[in-house]
Structure 1
């Protein structure tokens, strides 16, 4: 009996040993496979970014030195992974040259389809505050087998399958009408240019086409869009290497670029419920000069001027894509799950086709100003951008073939990636302030204004900002009149002797600093490479506690009730000391880049701290949230407080 028990014990021990051994081997091999799979992809990515050469500095002046960082630093290999391209089903009905037609064959048998016309709500005054979210729909017109001609720019298509398991299917599509058929306003502008073009001295001013992608740094563009980047370089696009953001997220950078307004100083927009109609956006100036204007954003909910904002009460431009974006926002496909496909295309392909169609119907009739923004591409996961490399390369090729001689083309972003694991690395910190920026001026403008191109090339390695972009757009606008260039910075009375704004077409001074450019210190990357890690528990606790207390103070000052939980200091993630020292009055100070984690939200915050010789602590700029707060602050609507709040 005893011997049998010993045998059982022995067998059980062997079984445990084998189980642990197999588990260990599984963990080791899984980790090895995971590590090598992503590292192999990382190496592949690096090898495909041909033509990229690592230099010493992006900007190298006495006043500002921005170091060139390696986009393929081995420390981020584990963060880079391969995304899968989205596929879309062939639609039951498609729109061709303004006619809705059935696709034959299609996979829903004996389906009957109809379409609704989609129109933005008509606003005769400024009382309809929800206009940017409100559409009018016509009754559903039956789509005949031979097709039907539509009279509306945007349509909603509804199909129902006959049979026992009746399924419904909803889709949307768009057709771009030429200016003479689009609206009274565009017809008037068209008549103006017909008269102007009949004059012997007429020189058609260049159009402006802006293609923007949200949250993409210069280095991530190198990693993710190698084909596109090579195409741009070959075709005389100039890269503004020192282009630096001036605000935390998209909105302040767009207000500067499109409105010429300084950070957090918007006389036209005081609260989130204020309409943006009264802001001095540059497209108004172009429209006043009879340019055809247009804008498109792929996302309705995350749109630049609508995310937690009223947006526009009156339609801001001639061709306005937003009604369609609002219509397809949150739509279900035939199985009931959202796949992000519209008219058999991805949202990105749909928007690019809209832009191509716009350019096609307008280019030979009038100059235009068109602004576009892609938010859904890589906003939540920057790895997703990679699959669109050939898409943007091919579309930029089409734009260049179509409008290379007549349009100033800009391919830009607003800032780098702001949240997540990558943002918590030093490279993530560095990249966040340096979005990619390419601009190309047509040969005709280069020939007429050779100094513009010369200065553009010089400024490509100088410190620049969104405010400078606005001045550049104003310069382009002067080509449609006799107005003298570089004299149109009228939105603000800058301090005497202090000029923070320079067009890309005039040489930017070599002694330009972030301070003289209205770039806040926290976003400045001049000298940002001169950091060293600090291991000091006392300093860690001191700054970490101070930062969390600052956040709690902001919350308690702005919120009177107990909406948000008071945060507690959990740990310091890193402290990095800037290697230079700053003399202020009689004191000597040292700057640190500090990231901390708070409880109970596990929120990660980062700030630049200045510590004076007397022990005083000062936050330089603002405290930034660098990991996602999705689902944590739904109890608040204030965009400035959401990143701090952990709802109780």
Structure 2
């Protein structure tokens, strides 16, 4: 692994300190936008004129979650009181040359619906009420946190409980997030709602927290690959009291600096630090309210194995700061899965860690005093096999602590999953935890150099399954039919099933024409003819980057498998990406 790791330095987005900033008074009810006049001489020798615009979310039928508008820019001098949650600041010199621009989100109680304020204040007085704060980093495995963010790792190890056996339940971000938020698999979610077009109709546990009087928030950077937006319509109306997608859409109209294909800087701030600042603002400004918040970072973890090292010190300092303001808050610091692409996935270590994301939980002292047994059991469970469905059940348990009349609902994806305030069995299986066989790391495979005639049959089966899957979609006519190029991985694992019969699983990876790399777990099933059939266990996973080859598809499910017949002309940048990462 050493040859894959390189340290990356933190790069500031500007050599100058930001010219504009927000100040709050009257317990956050008064929000003041200020210009730091002491810095203007660093930007220009001429007089500086500044104005601010209101940022408004625009809803359209086709893309209800992707548009914003800016109001007319209102001039101000040194400071001005603002009431809008998102504003853009623009400053020009005497020759009308723009010297500075930035976007600010202000969190204030004045932006909470009145009914929620009333209920939340009542809820906050209940001693058994605990706020919930989820902070997520995309594609961060347990091992890559140690490699790239050792300072962050050491802080979390000292101040949180590490769920060492936490394992992913789905391919990418959405199924792993929805496991926590709904207790459902993606296939089950499809039966509840049209999550690609009408995700507001989907169940989400933050709605139960909201009904119980919690103030809710959701924010995610890198708006182009948002968990609920990538190849989907997103939310037709704000899903939470504080919804920060318009803030990031506005920030991404500023000067952008990319780093490894991701938006690193938007204006004078990094996207990651914008999330960190929102978390602090939310936690400090609304300290007297019961809260449920989910904040998610893609910008420095999603597309490169090593860029997280550039943000290690920033993240450590952020955690040191936020821990001072957790009060009655339970903090979940987590990820969806490990790194899914590039050379690391070709190694046994990469295969293993892709399935085991980080998951840390920190409890306030008040929880430990009021619920010592629950806290003790959670500590015990840190060494047990766990999944997102257990977290879903734990969140319901927290709701029940706040209101004894709340009725716990079983996770439909995992009947045996339960709150981690109860002990998890040492003998728990992946099936017990709702983890499918293709994501289970309990049965480690061994690599075999098998004769071609032995490997060809399962490879042909897998190829047929891929083409059959593509044919099942309405837009199939846009996609190539795959042909087998070569087998790149063949591993076997013998195990005993529930009937004590010896069975064999195959971990198979093939490369096709046109070029795509797929991986799947197969089971060898004996038949009546003294030969063997194959059965697909779980998802077929596309191992190479595919967005540039499947851009003709608007369906996020088909996109993972399609290779478009009509390809866009490749730019120089595309050719470099193809050479380096495909």
Name the TM-score, length of structure 2 as normaliser.
0.87
Looking at structure 1, the residues matched to 88 and 397 of structure 2 have their Cα atoms a distance apart, in angstroms, of: 41
1:148 pairs with one of 67, 70, 80: 80
The equivalent residue for 2:7 is 82
- The answer on whether the counterparts of 1:119 and 1:152 sit within 8 Å (CA) in structure 2 is no
Does structure 2 retain, via aligned residues, the 8 Å contact 1:109–1:162? no
Alignment of 1:236-275 (within 5 A): 237-266=160-189, 270-271=193-194, 273-275=196-198
2:538 matched to 1:625? no
| 2: CA distance, partners of 1:287 / 1:362 | 15
- Secondary structure of residue in 2 paired with 1:574: strand
Change (3 A) 1:272 1:262: closer
Shift of 1:135: 2.3
- Any stretches of 5+ residues in structure 1 without a counterpart? 1-75
- Coordinate RMSD, CA, aligned: 2.7
Match in the other structure for 1:419 = 341
Distance 2:266 2:278 in 1: 12
What residue is the counterpart of 1:400 in the other structure? 323
Equivalent residue, structure 2, for 1:190: 117
Q: 1:617 to 1:214 in 2, by over 3 A?
A: same
CA distance in 1, matches of 2:12, 2:129: 40
5 Å-filtered alignment, 1:306-325, equals: 306-325=229-248
| 8 Å contact from structure 2 (residues 217, 293) kept in 1 | yes
* Partner deviation per Cα, 1:426-462 (whole Å, 9 max, x = no partner): 1111111111111112121111111111211221111
User: 1:284 matched to which residue of 2?
Assistant: 207
Matching residue of 1:23: none
Tell me how far 1:108 sits from its aligned partner: 4.2
C-alpha distance in structure 2 between counterparts of 1:305 and 1:557, whole Å: 23
Alpha-carbon distance change, 395 to 268 in structure 1, aligned in 2, over 3 angstroms = farther
1:468 matched residue in structure 2: 390
Pair 1:117 & 2:92 matched:
no
Change (3 A) 1:318 1:562: closer
The 2-side partners of 1:544 and 1:348 are apart by 42
Decide whether aligned partners of structure 1 residues 583 and 458 sit closer, same or farther in structure 2, where only a CA change above 3 A counts: closer
Higher Cα radius of gyration: 1
**Would you say how many aligned residue pairs link Structure 1 and Structure 2?**
547
Is 1:357 paired with 2:257?
Answer: no
Structure 2: where are the runs of 5+ without partners?
24-31, 566-582
The CA deviation at 1:551 is 1.3
Call closer, same or farther: CA 1:513–1:194 in 2, change over 3 Å: closer
Shift of 1:106: 3.2
Matched, 1:563 2:487: no
Question: What is residue 29 of structure 2 aligned with on the other side?
Answer: none
Q: Is the 8 A contact 2:142 2:356 kept in 1?
A: yes
Establish whether residue 610 from structure 1 lines up as the match of residue 520 from structure 2.
no
Within 5 Å, give how 1:36-435 maps onto structure 2.
76-89=1-14, 90=16, 93-97=19-23, 98-102=32-36, 103-110=39-46, 112-121=49-58, 128=61, 130-144=63-77, 146-160=78-92, 163=95, 166=97, 170-177=101-108, 179=109, 181-183=110-112, 185=113, 187-192=114-119, 194=121, 202-203=126-127, 205-235=129-159, 237-266=160-189, 270-271=193-194, 273-329=196-252, 331-332=254-255, 340-342=264-266, 344-363=268-287, 365-403=288-326, 405-435=327-357
Shift of 1:611: 2.1
Which residue of structure 2 lines up, in the alignment, with residue 58 of structure 1? none
The alpha-carbon deviation at position 374 of structure 1 amounts to: 0.5
SS of residue paired to 2:247: helix
Query: CA offset at residue 221 of structure 1?
Result: 1.3
Find the aligned partners of 2:124 and 2:447 in 1 and give their Cα distance. 62
1:251 shift after superposition: 0.3
Change (3 A) 1:534 1:255: same
Distance 2:263 2:503 in 1: 53
Q: What's the TM-score once normalised by structure 1's chain length?
A: 0.79
How big is each residue's C-alpha offset from its partner over 1:387-424, in whole Å with a ceiling of 9 and x where there is no partner?
22222221111122122x41111111111111111112
